A = this chain, B = another copy of it.
Amino acid sequence: MADDRFHVYDTTLRDGAQQEGLNLTVADKLAVARHLDGLGVGFIEGGWPGANPKDTEFFRRARTELDLKHAQLAAFGATRRAGVKAADDPLVAALRESGAPVVTLVAKSHDRHVELALRTTLQENLAMIRDTVSHLRAEGQRVFLDAEHFFDGYKSNPAYALEVIRTAAEAGADVIALCDTNGGMLPDELAEIVQDAVRTSARVGIHCHDDTGCAVANTLAAVKAGATHVQGCANGYGERSGNANLFTVVANLQLKRGFDLVPQESLAEMTRIAHAITEVTNVTPNSHAPYVGTSAFAHKAGLHASAIKVDPNLYQHIDPAQVGNDMRMLVSDMAGRASVELKGRELGYELTPEHTKALVERVKDLESRGFTFEAADASFELLLRDTVHGERRRHFEVESWRVIVERTKGGELVSEATVKLHAKGERIVATGEGNGPVNALDKAVRMALEKLYPELARLELVDFKVRILEGTHGSDAITRVLITSSDESTEWATVGVAENIIDASWQALEQAVTYGLLRAGRDCG
């Protein structure tokens, strides 16, 4: 459990999901939560149960499917409606029933918003806050309050904005997070207002948006002014220009201001985690992101190369290893070799220096062409075996394949695949039908091989991911397909890359079957 004196509060799954084009399934949300927990954040805001069926489902599944090591889940929701009791408001009930240890209530703190958006009186808004906070506290949940539009509200009516803080704190809210909801603040003015809020003696948090390009700096300014709870989103996701990038905030505070927010060894996973989350969200990673971007420590060699060799710290603001990133100009053969050696040992192979060198070169070449082996362990192991054996060994060889997808005149959709294979001295032709081209290919391969390898009946294709790389040439772009397969006891992933999506899928599928047969104890000579 993280230290309670300073909160790192992630809102990727709620406010980050407001980003244009970002649409997360419940499974995606669970996966992102696991990554954030791995980083060591203190709180993960999961969504708004009751208002959104998907979020209700998230909290339901989280109870059994999420085993968080550091983080606590927070359910987001509004204060009760005007004119009803908190205990009688079904949306408040949904927060209570979410099972989340923390509830973060959003409340208006801008007088004009109370009147125009909420259409109630300033007094009733305070009563809504008081009533909802104390009701949830009495029911045993910890309560934080998001003071929406706080800074604009303070500028419109400072006494009322501060009264919202006092009311919430007196009713039992542990943290009042001041939200720059429209994102228009600059650090100096924001810091002055935070100082005034801190004088209420309530515990103050900060929630910033990047509309002035200052979300991170605003967050740091608020911390300096006394805030002890920072909100943000993975990779700076969020509506409009995004929320404060939580990764940048954490790295700045921990590496440059001496805060002890996440375990050092988790910080060293930050780059990997940032990229893993982009795989889930399917948002192209920002290569220029501070700390975690692939360009963040990339140097054009030139003039300074020799000086960099003498003392790299003269040319970088931190040691990139602290956040799990690399200085890219130094193409570090050693790092590559060490990790390949380690990975080989993990898989049970003792690699000779020659094999290691050959494998590193092969991986580098393939990754430069769009392959990714971090997410495709089975493809890496096949590559390693090919390198060790000095040849490509398979249980079957492909002569040809063909896929037809057709929408008939009658409106019927047909997907059919034919494969021609050679295995154990036989030539086999088989056809499969499916609900799509990859499914049809999968069926055809099984049909072809199941008599020779009956264990294929246990093999299942459980996930299929497509990513378009360099998406500037339309359908000319390179396609990367990741396929996850399982044999009931374990899962493995394979990767294929090609201009043609069907070809990329076929590559991943062929490897998936090969790896499955190896796992079943079938050697391929």
Contact = CB atoms under 8 A, between A and B. Distances in A.
A12 to B, nearest CB: 15
A212 B248 contact: yes
Contacts of A242: 288
B18 A300 contact: yes
Interface stretch (A35-43, A80-88, A134-142, A495-503): A495-503
Contact of A469 (B25, B245, B256, B467): B25
A406 B407 contact: no
A242 B252 CA distance: 17
Contacts of A372: 21, 23
Contacts of A20: 287, 295, 298, 300, 330, 374-375
B461 A465 contact: no
A301 B477 CA distance: 33
Given A182-B315, A245-B213, A437-B437, A500 B405 contact: yes
Nearest to A328: B20
Interface string A485-510: 00000000000000111110010000
B470 A27 contact: yes
Contacts of A257: 186
Interface string A219-240: 0110010000000000010011
Interface in A365-413: 372, 374-375, 398-409, 413
Contacts of A72: none
Contact of A186 (B112, B183, B256, B307): B256
Contacts of A297: 240
10 contacts: A117-B310, A149-B314, A182-B315, A182-B317, A210-B290, A239-B299, A415-B500, A436-B501, A461-B474, A464-B471
Given A210-B288, A239-B301, 4 more contacts: A182-B316, A214-B220, A404-B404, A438-B475
